[in-house]
Structure 1
Amino acid sequence: MKSCPYCGRIHPVGYECPKKPKRKWYHKNRGQAERFRSTAAWQKKRSEVLNRDHNLCRVCFVADHRINNKGLSVHHITPLGKDFEQRLDENNLISLCSKHHDEAEHGLIPADSLRAMAKTSPRLVSREERGEP
Structure 2
Amino acid sequence: MLMAMLTTCSHGKLIPIGTTCDCNKQTVARIKREPSDVDKLRNTHRWKRIVQPRIIERDGCVCQRCLIKYGIITTSKLSAHHIKPASKYIELFFDESNLVCLCMTCNRQLGTKEQLDFNYEIPNEYEYKL
TM bracket (short chain): 0.5 to 0.7
Instruction: Return the match for 1:42 from 35, 38, 47.
Output: 47
When residues 90 and 65 of structure 1 are mapped into structure 2, their CA distance, relative to the original with a 3 A threshold, is: same
Cα contact 2:84–2:112 (8 A) shared by 1: no
Higher CA-based Rg: 2
Q: TM-score, normalised by structure 1?
A: 0.60
Structure 2 gaps, min length 5:
1-31, 125-130
Instruction: Return the match for 1:67 from 68, 73, 76.
Output: 73
For residue 35 of structure 1, give the secondary structure of its aligned residue in structure 2.
Answer: helix
- Separation in 2, partners of 1:47, 1:118: 18
Deviation, 1:29, is: 3.1
How large is the RMSD of aligned CA atoms in angstroms?
2.2
Q: Which amino acid aligns with 1:103?
A: Q
Q: Which residue of 1 aligns with 2:36?
A: 31
Q: Which residue of 2 aligns with 1:57?
A: 63
Cα contact 1:91–1:118 (8 A) shared by 2: no
1:93 aligns with 2:99: yes
- Separation in 1, partners of 2:39, 2:55: 19
Q: Which residue of 2 aligns with 1:24?
A: none
- Separation in 2, partners of 1:89, 1:53: 15
Q: Deviations over 1:50-84 (max 9, x none)?
A: 10011100011111122111221111111111010
Q: Going by fraction, where is helix more abundant, 1 or 2? A: 1
Q: TM-score, normalised by structure 2?
A: 0.62
Structure 1 gaps, min length 5:
1-26, 122-133
Deviation, 1:97, is: 1.1
For residue 47 of structure 2, give the secondary structure of its aligned residue in structure 1.
Answer: helix
1:111 aligns with 2:82: no
For residue 76 of structure 2, give the secondary structure of its aligned residue in structure 1.
Answer: coil
Q: Deviations over 1:27-52 (max 9, x none)?
A: 78311110111111112100100100
| Segments ≥4 residues shifted beyond 3 Å | none
When residues 37 and 97 of structure 1 are mapped into structure 2, their CA distance, relative to the original with a 3 A threshold, is: same
